[in-house]
Amino acid sequence: MGLPTGHVTAVPGLSRTAQLKALGNGVVPQQAVAALRKLAARQEPAAWQAGAA
């Protein structure tokens, strides 16, 4: 999600725990964007128009 394939997983000898540690909180903004997009898609169009007025 946002990183090229193998960005961390293609590093030889890096355990799963080390991979997750290397990623750290760097994925949080991308996860937040995905969550907000999903939530926004569930809103009724009328709710968006009312908020814009």
Q: What is the pLDDT of residues 25-39, one digit of tens each?
A: 777 887 888 888 888
| Residue 37 within a domain | yes
Does this model's pTM top 0.75? My answer is no
Q: What's the confidence (pLDDT) of residue 49?
A: 61
* pLDDT of the residue at 2: 67
- Per the CB < 8 A criterion, the answer to whether 43 and 18 are in contact is no
Answer whether residue 31 is part of any domain.
yes
In this structure, is residue 14 part of a structural domain? no
| Residue 43 resides in a domain | yes
Question: How big is the chain by its Cα radius of gyration, in Å?
Answer: 17
* Residue 1, CA distances (Å) to 7, 16, 23, 47, 48 in order: 11, 17, 12, 29, 27
> What residue numbers bound the domain in which 42 lies?
26-52
Structural domain contains residue 16: no
